[in-house]
């Protein structure tokens, strides 16, 4: 049991580090359009998922096709908005605010899945959103446009969570990811036609790494949840924020004021408390 937990923690560390690196690379490549970044992020992972599905002889069409398409569309739009927000926000702040998606997912679940939100959870959500108000109200370096974009991205991710919940176990996880990546390639590719910037030199390598590193992050995160309980490993997901803030501070010389740190901390605290509460109730 302890060995499995140690392995799960290690997998989650690898996952959050991989996603943080991907966030840093996207920030570094901000001269490219968000459409082009979505295209390269998606096509790299699509190649890997297609190879896997073909090797395992799993149908790429899936069963819940309309839901799979919806997951891909919502996910691609959310990713696009997130990449756009990185042009306006410090990378650590953008990542933190995108993690508000479980709150939107909870609200959508009430509407479509008839789930209930306990009063204590609303308190946790209030704590998280108070962090957003502190970030915008007291940190003059935070762009209102950037906050708007990343909150819309979080809302899109909330829709993704609800759609995945509706799909349930009726489709293989790799099929769900494959739809996401395929639609990301289509949306990103079509929208980048008139915004295409020809990569040169190491830029090709960095763009190609987006899909590979992103897939590695997804893979290790999935493996972590498979071998340990959600209550133990889910809070570790927020290490991505810490890793990304460190990348932003050292690589891009971003400055995080005391208000920024407080706002980020409140968002994480509110969301982690909600995870722990939900996990406790499910025991």
Question: pLDDT band at residue 37, thresholds of 50, 70 and 90?
Answer: very high
Is residue 170 domain-resident?
A: yes
What local confidence, expressed as pLDDT, does residue 220 receive?
86
Is residue 195 domain-resident?
A: yes
Is residue 106 domain-resident?
A: yes
Is residue 101 domain-resident?
A: yes
Q: What is the 3-state secondary structure (H, E, C) of the chain?
A: CHHHHHHHHHHHHHHHHHHHHHHHHHHHCCCCCHHHHHHHHHHHHHHHHHHHHHHCCCCCCCCCHHHHHHHHHHHHHHHHHHHHHCCCCCHHHHHHHHCCHHHHHHHHHHHHCCCCCCHHHHHHHHHHHHHHHHHHHHCCCCCHHHHHHHHHHHHHHHHHHHHHHHHCCCCCHHHHHHHHHHHHHHHHHHHCHHHCCCCCCHHHHHHHHHHHHHHHHHHHHHHHHHHCCHHHHHHHHHHHHHHHHHHHHHHCCCCCCHHHHHHHHHHHHHHHHHHHHHHHHHC
Least confident of 69-78, 108-117, 244-253, 259-268: 108-117
* Averaged confidence pLDDT in the chain: 88
Identify the domain containing residue 33 by its residue range. Answer: 7-282
Question: pLDDT band at residue 1, thresholds of 50, 70 and 90?
Answer: low
Whole-model pTM: value is 0.90
Is residue 2 domain-resident?
A: no
Q: Report the phi/psi class of residue 171: left, alpha or beta, with left for phi > 0 and alpha for psi in -120 to 50.
A: beta
What local confidence, expressed as pLDDT, does residue 212 receive?
93
Compute the average pLDDT of residues 20-32: 93
Over 90: is that where the pLDDT of 2 sits? no
What local confidence, expressed as pLDDT, does residue 229 receive?
65
Over 90: is that where the pLDDT of 230 sits? no
Over 90: is that where the pLDDT of 116 sits? no
Is residue 1 domain-resident?
A: no
What local confidence, expressed as pLDDT, does residue 172 receive?
86
Least confident of 26-30, 154-158, 167-171, 212-216: 167-171
- The total of structural domains in the chain comes to 1
What local confidence, expressed as pLDDT, does residue 88 receive?
92
């Amino acid at each position: 049991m302890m060995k499995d937990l140690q392995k799960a923690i290690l997998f989650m560390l690898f996952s959050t580090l991989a996603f943080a690196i991907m966030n840093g690379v996207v920030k570094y490549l901000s001269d490219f359009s968000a459409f082009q970044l979505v295209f390269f992020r998606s096509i790299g992972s699509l190649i890997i998922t297609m190879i896997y599905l073909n090797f395992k002889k799993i149908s790429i069409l899936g069963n819940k096709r309309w839901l799979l398409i919806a997951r891909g569309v919502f996910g691609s739009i959310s990713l696009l908005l997130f990449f756009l927000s990185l042009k306006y926000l410090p990378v650590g702040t953008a990542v933190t605010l995108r993690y508000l998606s479980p709150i939107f997912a909870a609200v959508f679940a009430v509407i479509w899945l008839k789930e209930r939100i306990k009063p204590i959870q609303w308190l946790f959500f209030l704590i998280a959103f108070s962090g957003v108000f502190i970030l915008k109200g007291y940190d003059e370096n935070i762009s209102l446009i950037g906050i708007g974009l990343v909150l819309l991205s979080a809302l899109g991710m909330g829709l993704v969570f609800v759609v995945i919940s509706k799909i349930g176990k009726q489709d293989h996880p790799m099929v769900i990811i494959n739809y996401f990546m395929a639609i990301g390639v289509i949306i990103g590719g079509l929208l980048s036609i008139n915004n295409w910037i020809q990569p040169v030199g190491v830029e090709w390598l960095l763009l190609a790494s987006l899909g590979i590193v992103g897939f590695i992050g997804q893979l290790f995160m999935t493996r972590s949840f498979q071998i340990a309980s959600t209550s133990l490993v889910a809070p570790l997901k927020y290490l991505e924020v810490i890793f990304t803030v460190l990348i932003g501070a050292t690589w891009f010389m971003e400055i995080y004021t005391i208000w920024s740190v407080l706002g980020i901390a409140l968002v994480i605290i509110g969301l982690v408390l909600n995870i722990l509460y939900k996990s406790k109730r499910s025991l």
